[in-house]
Amino acid sequence: DAGVIQSPRHEVTEMGQEVTLRCKPISGHNSLFWYRQTMMRGLELLIYFNNNVPIDDSGMPEDRFSAKMPNASFSTLKIQPSEPRDSAVYFCASIDRGRVGTEAFFGQGTRLTVV
Amino acid sequence: LAKTTQPISMDSYEGQEVNITCSHNNIATNDYITWYQQFPSQGPRFIIQGYKTKVTNEVASLFIPADRKSSTLSLPRVSLSDTAVYYCLVGTMNTGFQKLVFGTGTRLLVSP
């Protein structure tokens, strides 16, 4: 398997524009997580899905952020409208909950810069 | 979720053994202890997991005392490439829909 695949790797956008980040989890994994990482706030959990269903979105900063998982092989994180304070690295991770323990596999991340 | 406490940072030199301790006083009976490693500009990577006593793999060893209220990640003979942030997580996939929350981690700096 190619691992968790995120796209794009880098995104530069202007304030007010819509941004869509994409994630393809590892085949067979049934949970998917979205994180945001900054120097100030560390690695923050935004939302996670089990079997394509959003379970906890309490980490989503505000209504400008939304996430979907239309099927087991694809998820999106959308920011509309984007603001400079959204600049961060966004990671997607997936887990097979059928296994004991918490071995999550992370993608390479998307570095978002909002100017 | 079991709360974890670990040092914010540690310094070491090449060739030394590094031990990072994580406290998890309210660990539940079914919880596992998992450590992740994060290099700059990369996502965290699973390195080791254990339930009790000692676990060793090609990367590290994990020591867990009988009361399981703490654990120690041991990195033998570190090199410059071991400079990273190390996270301790406690939990299980078997107790409902568990969040995977990372704390601040321990920033390890290995110098020549």
CB contact under 8 A, B99 and A99: no
Provide the percentage of residues in chain B whose pLDDT is more than 70. 95
For the domain B9-111, what is the CATH code? Answer: 2.60.40.10
Query: According to the model, what pLDDT value does residue B112 have?
Result: 95
Cα–Cα distance measured from residue A17 to residue B24, given in angstroms and rounded to the nearest whole number: 43
Per the rule left: phi > 0, alpha: psi between -120 and 50, beta: everything else, B53 is left
Query: According to the model, what pLDDT value does residue B94 have?
Result: 60
Query: According to the model, what pLDDT value does residue A102 have?
Result: 63
Query: According to the model, what pLDDT value does residue B96 have?
Result: 45
pLDDT tens, position by position, A53-71? 999 999 998 899 999 999 9
Which residues of chain A are within 8 Å of residue B36 when distances are taken between CB atoms? 104
pLDDT tens, position by position, B65-91? 999 999 999 999 999 999 999 999 888
Task: Answer whether B73's CB lies under 8 Å from B54's CB.
Answer: no
Residue spans of the domains in chain B: they are 9-111
Most A-contacting residue of B22, B99, B104, B107 (CB-CB within 10 A), to test interface: B99
Query: According to the model, what pLDDT value does residue A100 have?
Result: 64
In A, minimum Cα distance to B31 occurs at A101
